[in-house]
C-alpha cells in the first residue's frame, strides 16, 4: 500500500511539473510585445513619453476603436493597428487591458 501511494504521488508530481502552471493569454502576449513599451506593464502610462494611463472608465468599444484607428490627439500619437492585428487580437488585448485596472 505504501509503495502505491508513493508511486501515485511521484506520478502526479511528474505530470504537474510537465504542465505549465499559467499559460500567458494571447492578449497579454500581444500587449507585452506591442503596447507595454508606451503603456507600461500595469497600464499606468509612460510619463517620460507623455503617454497617459488607461482610463478605468473607458469602454471596451472605445479601447477597440482607439486601437484599430490610432489616436492623433495629445502630445503622443498612437499608431492604428487595423491591418496589423486581427479583430480577434485587438479584442484579446482590450480584454487583457481591462484586467489591469482590477
0.75 exceeded by the pTM? no
27: helix, strand or coil:
helix
Angle at 76 between CA 74 and CA 80, to 5 degrees: 100
The residue written with cell numbers 500595469 in the block is 42
The answer for residues whose C-beta is within 8 angstroms of residue 35's C-beta and 6 or more apart is: 93, 97
Q: Where are the domains of the chain?
A: 24-100
Tens of pLDDT, residue by residue, the chain (102 residues): 455 544 444 444 444 444 444 567 899 999 999 999 999 999 999 999 999 999 889 999 999 999 999 999 878 899 999 999 999 999 999 999 999 975
Cβ neighbours of 93 (radius 10 Å): 24
* Confidence (pLDDT) at 101: 74
Looking at the structure, give the CATH architecture of the domain made up of residues 24-100.
Answer: Orthogonal Bundle (1.10)
Amino acid at each position: 500500500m505504501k509503495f502505491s501511494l508513493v508511486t501515485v504521488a511521484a506520478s502526479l508530481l511528474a505530470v504537474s511539473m510537465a504542465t505549465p502552471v499559467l499559460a500567458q493569454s494571447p492578449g497579454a502576449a500581444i500587449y507585452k510585445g506591442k503596447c507595454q513599451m508606451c503603456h507600461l506593464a500595469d497600464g499606468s502610462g509612460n510619463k517620460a513619453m507623455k503617454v497617459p494611463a488607461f482610463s478605468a472608465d473607458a469602454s471596451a468599444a472605445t479601447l477597440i476603436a482607439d486601437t484599430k484607428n490610432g489616436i492623433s490627439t495629445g502630445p503622443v500619437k498612437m499608431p492604428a493597428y487595423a491591418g496589423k492585428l486581427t479583430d480577434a487580437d485587438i479584442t484579446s488585448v482590450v480584454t487583457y487591458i481591462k484586467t489591469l485596472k482590477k
